[in-house]
Amino acid sequence: MSSLKLTAVHKSYGSVEVIKGVDLEIKSKEFVVFVGPSGCGKSTLLRMIAGLETISAGDLEIGGTRMNDVDPSKRGIAMVFQSYALYPHMTVRDNMGFALRFAGVAKDQIAIQVQQAARILALEPLLDRLPKELSGGQRQRVAIGRAIVRNPQVFLFDEPLSNLDAELRVHMRIEIARKATMIYVTHDQVEAMTLADTIVVLRDGIIEQVGRPLDLYDDPANQFVAGFIGSPKMNFLAATIVEKTTSSVTLELTNHGRARLALPVSGGAVGEAVTLGVRAEHFGEPGAGEVDIALDIDVAEHLGSTSYVYANRGGEALTIEREESRNEIGMQTITVSIDPVRAYLFDARGQRIR
């Protein structure tokens, strides 16, 4: 069993609290990705799971056993570091077999296991080289190989695949993720979307939301997650609630000549300042939605299949995505429509109004 459970986990450095109470359950063989902006505590959380940082408060269970004070090598985990952390004075073979040597595994058994891992990662011709004689991608594979050799229940990755070639990434997703639980740290939300079964969005030492990639995209719990998941970033428009019924509210868009639209939500109060969230790809042709807004174009990028129009109105910058559109070439303004069904509403504290 290789499930993981974090209960009210805290971490403080002196008086500075960096992890402020994390509760999380990870199922066996799940591929979990931690995302969040720089400094939010992703690495710290991962290192606490690995046993490289002490847990200030709370419990960590791996496979049903409390692991707070267990030695890192006895937690059934392996870790791939951002810098790979290969031992520079050892050959690839010795790097990969090092942990087994200290675990008291017999020499010929080590050789077999190293050979197996080397085959999976196509490292066989490199086994007798030193790390400094390898390319970046090869070092990365050795780092992954060193983790595989230990046959862990849980793999921990701290942003290691940023320059991994696509083939190896797919390979890893299939070869490794089948056999063990994966916890993968990244600040790249695209990587998170492509790799994860479950994404954990962190900010300032707390979990903002946990969910499947498309659930986070379709149904963000708050403005932070809405802005973080999805590329380009979700657009936010200032608005005020001017009317309300039991099943809808009517908004007035602050920067768009008091244009009004009704949203099918039941929360909110009249007079409340709110934020309307619309994804770049959800703006429609003029007249297609409930309200049209006009914007001044700053720049338009045409990528062929898609175009991004960067526009603004009243100091509010918006990004509009258009498929196969060349219409914006040479234009000064653009008019788009907003479809209330595909828009999100957030209160002043950034929480979703549903």
The residue among 17 and 292 lying less far from ligand ATP, judged by its C-beta, is 17
CB of 2 to ligand ATP, least distance (A): 23
Cβ atoms within 10 Å of 133's Cβ, excluding its own: 12
Q: What is the DSSP letter of 112?
A: H
- Of the residues 8, 25, 39, 214, which one makes contact with ligand ATP according to CB under 6 A: 39
Residues whose CB is less than 8 angstroms from the CB of residue 21 and which lie 6 or more positions away in sequence, other chains included: 8, 9, 10, 58, 206
Q: Partners of 19 in the beta sheet? A: 11
Q: What is the dihedral of CA 31, 37, 41, 42, to 10 degrees?
A: 20
What is the number of the residue whose Cβ is closest to Mg ion?
43
- Of the residues 22, 26, 33, 40, which one makes contact with ligand ATP according to CB under 6 A: 40
Which residues from 184-223 bind ligand ATP, rule CB under 6 A?
187
The residue among 185 and 293 lying less far from ligand ATP, judged by its C-beta, is 185
The residue among 189 and 223 lying less far from Mg ion, judged by its C-beta, is 189
22 in helix, strand or coil?
Answer: strand
The residue among 182 and 345 lying less far from ligand ATP, judged by its C-beta, is 182
- Are residues 293 and 313 in contact, defined by beta-carbon separation less than 8 angstroms? yes
Place of tokens 């080289």: 129
The residue among 43 and 153 lying less far from Mg ion, judged by its C-beta, is 43
C-alpha closest to that of 97 among 81, 113, 85: 113
- Are residues 47 and 159 in contact, defined by beta-carbon separation less than 8 angstroms? no
Q: Pick one of Mg ion, ligand ATP, another protein, none as the site partner of residue 71 (Cβ within 5 to 8 A by kind).
A: another protein
Selected range binding another protein among 79-87, 115-123, 196-204, 226-234, rule: CB under 8 A: 79-87
Selected range binding ligand ATP among 10-18, 140-148, 212-220, 282-290, rule: CB under 6 A: 10-18
The residue among 85 and 206 lying less far from another protein, judged by its C-beta, is 85
What length does the chain have?
354
- Are residues 178 and 150 in contact, defined by beta-carbon separation less than 8 angstroms? no
Instruction: Establish if 236 lies at the interface with another protein (CB under 8 A).
Output: no
- In the complex, the residues that contact another protein under the rule CB under 8 A are 47, 50-52, 71-74, 77-79, 81-83, 85-89, 98-99, 102-103, 132, 146, 150
